Amino acid sequence: MEPFEYRRAASGKEALALASRGGAQFLAGGTELINWMRIGIERPATLIDITRIDGLSHITTLPNGGLSIGALNRLNDVAQHALVAQRYPVLSQAILKAASAQIRNLATIGGNPLQRVRCPYFRADEPTPCNRRSPGSGCAALHGFNEKHAIFGWTDDCVAVQPSDPAVALAALDAAYVVRGISGVRRIPARDFHVLPGEDPSAHHRLRPGELMVAMEIPRHWPRSAYLKIRERESYEYATASVAVALDLDGDVIRRARIALGSVAMKPWRLDETERRLAGVRIGSPEMDAAINAGFGDARALSRNAYKIQLARNAVARAIDQAAEA
């Protein structure tokens, strides 16, 4: 780890001013950032501690009936909040499936979607070909160990996946990330917050240098929702594939559906075609199965992960059943 300057910001204005000097990173829970610094993924000249900033730890209702969640809320606090658990079970469940209880007591809801990819080549202690760490060096996972890598949206430049569990739920809920910079406030749709390699193989998300994540906004209630995480072990493991489902039902007929897959692409992957075809379809019907299959028309396997296509398809069906029973 290289030397750095530590600064504690007393306000959002001060944090942005410090960040505008360049070479800075914001520090909240630090559960990922310190690891990145240890292995050389990040080398900030300055760490700006934002944990004392007021106004970023709220959970409040919006005028339209939605919910605003401050970025500094600890993961467990969000998952256990009554409004989140009642209105958005999928988000509560996704958080409780993330990491360990100890990490969830420290990590923030704003920091979690900023996780870097879980590719072993990207996170290796010794340098390996990886366009995300060294642009232009290639992608060792393309023909290497790629059992848990992407089945959607990958290119020869990068086949990694985005690992955040809450990000998948937020994408399914049509949430937006609220970010603040020197030039003002932006709202970025959660489904498009992360960057696919076809656009930029070295980028992870759409935050601009010096911008600060301040909140997530969810526009409407989805009490019939569920999160299913498939992993090699139940405790403290990243997903092989995950699914966030939110349903609007009339009896057992789907009026509207939102479905996002996790750990299958460099961003939470919305199954838009499946959502469209599920409108008016009965739970458990052959039409439901056909609608799910239609969402996988663009899925492409790598050399070692063809199993993930069927795994993710089956997980969608299970998650729809779970959401319907909520």
Q: Is residue 40 in some structural domain?
A: yes
Q: What confidence score (pLDDT) does residue 126 get? A: 84
**CATH number, domain at 110?**
3.30.465.10
Q: What confidence score (pLDDT) does residue 34 get? A: 86
User: Rg of the Cα trace of the chain?
Assistant: 19
Within 13 Å, how many C-alpha atoms sit on residue 291's CB side? 26
Q: Is residue 80 in some structural domain?
A: yes
- 214 plus 68 within the same structural domain: yes
Positions of the chain with pLDDT under 70: none
- 71 plus 108 within the same structural domain: yes
Q: Give the residue numbers spanning the domain of 235.
A: 226-324
Contacts of 217 (CB under 8 A, 6+ apart): 62, 66, 67, 68, 69, 175, 176, 178, 187
- 237 plus 277 within the same structural domain: yes
Q: Is residue 48 in some structural domain?
A: yes
Domain tally for the chain? 3
Q: What confidence score (pLDDT) does residue 38 get? A: 87
- 306 plus 181 within the same structural domain: no
From the list 177, 184, 324, the residue with the least C-alpha distance to 245 is 324
Measured CA to CA in angstroms, residue 116 lies from 65, 92, 195, 285 at distances of 32, 22, 11, 39
Q: What confidence score (pLDDT) does residue 163 get? A: 96
- 34 plus 180 within the same structural domain: no
Q: What confidence score (pLDDT) does residue 92 get? A: 98
Q: What confidence score (pLDDT) does residue 50 get? A: 97
- 300 plus 244 within the same structural domain: yes
- 72 plus 14 within the same structural domain: no
Among 32, 53, 74, give the residue marking a domain's end.
Answer: 53
Query: Strand pairing of 176-181 and 59-61?
Result: unpaired
Q: Is residue 143 in some structural domain?
A: no
- 168 plus 103 within the same structural domain: yes
Q: Is residue 138 in some structural domain?
A: no
From the list 162, 141, 132, 148, the residue with the least C-alpha distance to 41 is 132
Instruction: Give the end-to-end CA distance of the chain in Å, rounded to a whole number.
Output: 47
Q: Per-residue pLDDT tens for 191-245?
A: 999 999 999 999 999 999 999 999 999 999 999 999 999 999 888 889 999 999 9
- 175 plus 76 within the same structural domain: yes
Amino acid at 76: N
Q: What confidence score (pLDDT) does residue 257 get? A: 98
Give alpha helix (H) positions in 142-197: 165-172
Contacts of 231 (CB under 8 A, 6+ apart): 237, 238, 239, 240
Q: What confidence score (pLDDT) does residue 209 get? A: 92
The one-character DSSP state at 244 is E
Q: What is the token pair recorded at 76? A: 């467990």
Q: What confidence score (pLDDT) does residue 56 get? A: 97
